[in-house]
Structure 1
Amino acid sequence: MTPQFQVVRDESDPAFIHAWTTHVSARELSLDPDYLRLLAEASPGVTHHYVACRDEDGAVRGLAYIALQQQRIAGLLPLRVLVLGGRVAAGQAFWFDEQVWSFSSFMSALRQFLALTFPHGLIVLKEFSRERDASAIDQNQRAGFVNVPCFHRSRVPLQGAMTLAAYLDTLSSKRRYHLRKVLRDAQAQGLECEVLERFEHLLDQLYPLYLAVNARAQEARTPPLPRQLFDLMARHLESVRMLVLRQAGQIRGFGLLLHRHGQVKCMVIGQDYAVARELNLWYLLVLHSIEYAAQHGCETVDLGSTNQDMKRKFGAVCEEIWISVRHQNDRWQHWLAPYIRFSLRRMYAQPRREGETPVH
């Protein structure tokens, strides 16, 4: 009997949480169930659902997480857009048992179920690594999807380094010299770093710094995360950490981190652009994020999806990430495909202007 899809009604069920954590969120911290719950709470107008596929014995053979939102395409055409994984979380918000499904058979069955259960116009499948998921990207194209390269995800392997000094020793002499100079200059300028578990009392200072970075973004330009999400994370998410840079008591920059499963993920940053270049804030935020991960025995640091050339200076390994988009109706897809391709390339592939301060 073919395994059957169903909407997960009890998202707190321990068996479901275990399956999701084991197969999905252990690979991508922004797909952690606790974080997704808070994200849903802070996202009015967007509905979020888990889907599980079970066999006749009740064993889980597939999982997915979707977000559904009404949008206007080209400012005119109203469409319900279904995004596998939602707009904010990264990684692949799905898993299937390869002994039961192939990628194409799983996606075909999942799409049929979603079309009946959550009627929608556009569907977005993400994320796919060009190197790791080349076959899946090609199969999406054969299924009528528009495939677009969006960004490069950068991860730093720590190779067992337990201190910042040990990590720096893994870099080339030129890069090591530059980063050590950044640290010396920061010390001379009175910059101090601290990592906080609770930070709701600082949001009046932190959130404007984040908005400043988001407004200047030249790559992966997306609407800012709501302040409510920061507040919910500060109060209710055990895996969140706030890395703060202060000078004479004033907050100059921050990095919002997730720490779990031997990994650290840099979610967003904030900078005081009045002094960002002078104080090398971007470099310091990356360095101290790596330092925090090394001190806690983490294996990798996910530095996010922009400025891959800059992040290679930290020894980051970068992978090209693609997404796949199509309309459920073949005729509409033929008409919308050029617009989809243009819009996504405009959103994700905008190069950073030479000489501009990097943003996360």
Structure 2
Amino acid sequence: MQHGHTIQFPQGVLKVVTLAELQNCEAWKRALQNKCKDHRYYEIVQETLQDSFEYHHLALEDDSGNARAIQPVFFVRQNLVEGVPGKIGSIVDRVRKIFPRFLTMRALMVGCAAGTGDLAACDEKDEAWVASSLQASLSCYARQNKASLVVLKDFPATYRSKLEMFPANGYARIPSMPMTRLPLPYNNWDEYFRTLSKATRKDLRRKFRKTERAPKIEMEVVSDIAPLVDEIHPLYLAVHERSLLKFETLTKDYFRTIGQRMPDRARFFVWRQLGKIVAFSFCLVCEDKIYDECIGLDYSVALDLHL
């Protein structure tokens, strides 16, 4: 299906638009303005993670022609045996040398290729309308693009009530990797430390003593990681490759660009030992929340130092 095509649905019309067409579009900037991953983040992901994904944007207009949402979506050829260990995975790999698409499926995914998904309503009050409009049009859009599966990727549970029409119309809700949330109503480390169990405090003290015997570890926080990207990216890949389940692989350009175009939100925590980077954590700061997106570790020291 070519960009520019439309799909009629009971509440309005879906129009497929390109990212280039959205550059001067106010609706696109409004669509995700109150989300931690705003329109800038989606643009960065599309520009820097191109190998595995085919990106599209769906403009949802009501019967009056008003743009109510600009919803990012993407197509991916999903590996149906991702994470399967042992002989089965090895057999599939051998078959794919001859038939590359063996046990894969073209899927339409709503949301973000690198992170949690959001409904991209221009006004948050319209999120229920957007969800209903997507439910009415996604199946048709997927068929026209030869996708066999439609997925709302990694939408937080806070959307559950607004998305209730999906399981009522043939969709299945499947748990994703759980997010861990830690409230921080503490004034300092000591106050937080006192809330931990006795066993946890004892374990942490033991680890701290071991770390103190090693050369000192220093930390800095930066927004622009570009000068250090050649050092931190191998650490990210080291962690990424140890994971049994993989989806996207973040690139050097991703890390460079995120700090340069989202300096108000991007934070890189960098730990050094003897001047060498041994760990980093990439976070997004949004109002009073901090989201830990990914980490990188030098495994030659990380496990011994309990990084």
Under a length normalisation based on structure 2, what TM-score does the superposition of the two structures give?
A: 0.72
Contact 2:28 2:70 survives alignment (8 Å): no
- Show the 5 A alignment for 1:93-132: 93-95=119-121, 97=125, 101=129, 103=131, 105-112=132-139, 114-115=141-142, 118=145, 120-128=147-155
- Superposition CA RMSD, Å: 3.4
Percent same amino acid at aligned positions? Answer: 26
**Structure 1 Cα separation of the partners of residues 156 and 112 of structure 2:** 17
Distance apart, 1:261 and its partner CA: 2.6
Q: Name the SS of the counterpart of 1:213 in structure 2.
A: helix
What secondary structure sits across from 2:43 in the alignment?
helix
8 Å contact 2:218–2:273 — kept in the other structure?
A: yes
Distance 1:133 1:121 in 2: 24
1:13 paired to 2:13: no
Which range moves more in the overlay, 144-153 or 238-247?
A: 144-153
Instruction: Say if 1:93 and 1:164 are closer, same or farther in 2 by CA, change over 3 A.
Output: farther
Deviations 1:13-48 (A, max 9, x none): 3443133223xx2xxx3x322121111111225332
Show structure 1 runs of 5+ residues with no match: 282-360
**Rg bigger for which structure?**
2
Matches within 5 A, 1:209-248: 209-218=235-244, 220-238=245-263, 239-248=265-274
Letter in 2 for 1:228: D
Q: Which has a greater percent of helix? A: 1
The reply to whether residue 39 of structure 1 matches residue 45 of structure 2 is yes
Superposed displacement of residue 83, structure 1: 0.9
Kept after mapping to 1: 8 A contact 2:105/2:147: yes
Per-residue deviation, 1:270:
0.9
Q: Give the partner amino acid of 1:32.
A: D
Residue 187 and residue 36 in structure 1: after superposition, are their counterparts in 2 closer, same or farther (change >3 A)?
farther
Equivalent pair of 1:39/1:229 in contact (CA under 8 Å) = yes
SS at match of 1:156: coil
Whether the 8 Å contact between 2:219 and 2:269 is mirrored in structure 1 is yes
SS of match in other structure, 1:83:
strand
Tell me how far 1:109 sits from its aligned partner.
2.0
Is the contact made by 1:19 and 1:60 (CA closer than 8 Å) also made in structure 2? no
Which residue of structure 2 aligns with residue 266 of structure 1? 292
CA distance in 1, matches of 2:63, 2:170: 32
Distance 1:43 1:130 in 2: 26
Amino acid at match of 1:106: S
Secondary structure of the structure 2 residue equivalent to 1:150: coil
Number of matched residues?
271
Deviation at 1:119, TM superposition (A): 5.2
* Contiguous gaps of at least 5 residues in structure 2: 1-9, 82-100
Q: 2:193 aligns with which of 159, 165, 168?
A: 168
Deviation, 1:188, is 4.2
Residue 299 of structure 2 aligns to a residue in which SS?
coil
